[in-house]
Amino acid sequence: MQRLGLNQSLQQKLSPQQIQFIKLLQVPTAELENRIEEELEINPVLEEGEDESPEDNQPDEVPEQTTENDTPADDQQPEETNANDEIDINDYLRDDDYTSYKTYNDDGDEEEREMPMPTSTSLHETLMTQLGFLGLDEKQATIGRQLIGSIEGDGYIRREMESIVNDLAFSQGFETTLEEVEAVLRKIQSFDPAGIAARNLQECLLLQLERMDDGQDVDVIVAKRILQECYEEFTKKHYPKILKKLDLDDEDYIKDAIELIVRLNPKPGGEVSSGNVKNQYVIPDFILVNNNGKLELSLNSRNAPELRISRSYSDMFKAYDKSDKKDKKLKEAVSFVKQKLDAAKWFIDAIKQRQHTLLRTMRAIVDFQFDYFLDGDETKLHPMILKDIAQMINMDISTVSRVASSKTIQTDFGIYPLKYFFSEGIATDSGEEVSSREVKQIIKDLIESEDKSKPHPDDKLEDLLNEKGYNIARRTVAKYREQLNIPVARLRKEM
């Protein structure tokens, strides 16, 4: 039996303006310009450019956060306006706080610079040019083009030769044999860069050694034998097995040959850039300068142009004020402009609030990690989690997470993502907690200073750390070593 009833409950929902602010807060400086351009396109009231009066160029005071989620207060959010409602145009004829906006820390003397875009020949274009010099017949040229098209960005052909034969039969419409395809492949493998079109790493290294082999260089001859006869032992650094297999009794016989192999290029395709590639530039969101022990933090805002409310729309309100208020079309037009004005005001205010939140969060991080930011010594990093910063600035953890997720800071010793400064804590014998990054740095230092002929296994690293007062288990040592992209002791062994 169905019944009707009333149920009263309280629910917290984010308004569209709050959701938009959250997305705006998460956008890094590199993408902020695109976001502003989108707003300029959809809102004719908002425009870009310098203001007529110098007073308007000064940024307004940033309003304090008034809600838990750090979104604009309700009175700042644009309201939907009905065309039948009476419109108070006096609010839009004033030259008040919203006539202009200029981003924080913007140096007016900075000139706009275009990022360089290098242009170069792609790997496939380079290979196709060399293919044209071979003087092949039409069938061989077709096979060559198919093979070059199968070469991946790192320079390898990972598709089976039988599959390429089938591809030629179905796509090109003529029959060929595996022997014919491999014959053309050998010609392509003679192209530059050396090692191109190899089917695996072993073949790639051997192709490069073939270019060096003049029949007299002992190191090249031994290196080829190592790759041909002892490749598996070489990859696992089982040097005694290599000596036994090659019937040698002294490691010096293979030492120089192994050093030669290690110097070869495992990714020959990386020597040629692919196409008209636009260089990737990291645009820091914050800039931190150490001025004689005083840390000066600023927000990089060069990608956020000056924004203002278009003054031309005030003429529409003046005309509406002098005209017959009963003109329905004019009233609808003014109502539309009013909504766009409200939206533009909120967007300008949201940009200001975004920058205020970013600076407030970053200042707390700098204060927390002050010792580290003075000289960049990783051992001075303190354990820090999102909750620590959220409590310092009295904001929600989710807000701090959004700020730290995709932002970077430029320091005197490099550019770092904000996530870099957050780490878990590890207890020491003295009862203090140190950052996991400090422990990783010590592990890195221990490995760099080890005897390469007898590298430290993980249990030895555990003992050395315990001697230094760090209570850490072997499995944690292994985890940190893997995070540092350092191989196990056996693979670090050198002769």
Tell me: the pLDDT tens digits for 75-130? 444 444 444 445 454 554 444 444 333 434 444 444 444 445 444 568 888 888 88
**Same domain, yes or no: 128 and 143:** yes
Enumerate the β-bridge partners of residue 262.
none
Is position 178 within any domain?
yes
Is position 1 within any domain?
no
Q: For tokens 């204060």, name the residue.
A: 367
Tell me: the pLDDT tens digits for 318-337? 666 666 655 677 677 777 77
Query: Final residue of a domain: which of 220, 236, 271?
Result: 271
**Same domain, yes or no: 318 and 398:** yes
Please give the pLDDT value at position 301: 65
The residues, any chain, with a CB within 8 Å of residue 103's CB and separated by 6 or more, are 59, 299, 301, 304, 305, 306, 351, 355
CA distance linking residue 201 with residue 152, whole number of Å: 13
**Same domain, yes or no: 203 and 103:** no
**Same domain, yes or no: 220 and 160:** yes
The residues, any chain, with a CB within 8 Å of residue 329's CB and separated by 6 or more, are none
Please give the pLDDT value at position 430: 64
Is position 240 within any domain?
yes
- For 291-320, b/e burial (b = at least 16 CB within 10 A) is eeeebebbbbbebbbbbbbbeebbebbeeb
Please give the pLDDT value at position 1: 60
Query: Final residue of a domain: which of 422, 455, 473?
Result: 422
Nearest residue to 28 (alpha-carbon basis) of 282, 279, 277: 282
Please give the pLDDT value at position 108: 43
**Same domain, yes or no: 39 and 51:** yes
Helix 386-393 / helix 328-368 crossing angle, nearest 10 deg = 120
Please give the pLDDT value at position 231: 87
Is position 264 within any domain?
yes
Q: Between the ranges 36-40, 105-109, 432-436, where is the mean pLDDT highest?
A: 36-40
- Using CB atoms within 10 Å of the CB of residue 403, give its burial: 0 to 12 exposed, 13 to 18 middle, 19+ buried: buried
Please give the pLDDT value at position 79: 42
Q: What integer is the mean pLDDT of 141-164?
A: 88
**Same domain, yes or no: 293 and 414:** yes
**Same domain, yes or no: 399 and 452:** no
CA angle 384, 388, 394 (to 5 degrees): 155
The residues, any chain, with a CB within 8 Å of residue 293's CB and separated by 6 or more, are 374
Query: Final residue of a domain: which of 217, 250, 271?
Result: 271
Please give the pLDDT value at position 123: 83
Tell me: the pLDDT tens digits for 372-420? 899 888 778 888 888 999 999 998 888 888 888 888 899 988 888 888 8
Domain span holding position 181: 123-271
Nearest residue to 123 (alpha-carbon basis) of 18, 308, 270, 265: 270
CB 180 within 8 A of CB 143: yes
Is position 112 within any domain?
no
Is position 276 within any domain?
no
Q: What integer is the mean pLDDT of 204-219?
A: 83
Is position 398 within any domain?
yes
**Same domain, yes or no: 303 and 417:** yes
**Same domain, yes or no: 54 and 163:** no
Is position 116 within any domain?
no
Q: What are phi and psi of 415, to 5 degrees?
A: -105, 130
CA distance linking residue 300 with residue 105, whole number of Å: 7
CA-only gyration radius of the chain, Å: 33
Q: What percent of the chain has pLDDT over 90?
A: 7
Enter the pTM of the model.
Answer: 0.52
Token output for 148? 């070059």
Tell me: the pLDDT tens digits for 368-383? 999 889 988 877 888 8
> Is a pLDDT exceeding 80 seen at residue 232?
yes
- Using CB atoms within 10 Å of the CB of residue 490, give its burial: 0 to 12 exposed, 13 to 18 middle, 19+ buried: exposed
**Same domain, yes or no: 370 and 327:** yes
**Same domain, yes or no: 144 and 215:** yes
Q: How far is CA 287 from CA 47, 151, 425, in A?
A: 28, 42, 27
Q: How many CB atoms lie within 10 A of CB 103?
A: 21
Q: Domain holding 467: CATH number?
A: 1.10.10.60
Q: How many domains is the chain built from?
A: 3
Please give the pLDDT value at position 278: 47
**Same domain, yes or no: 296 and 261:** no
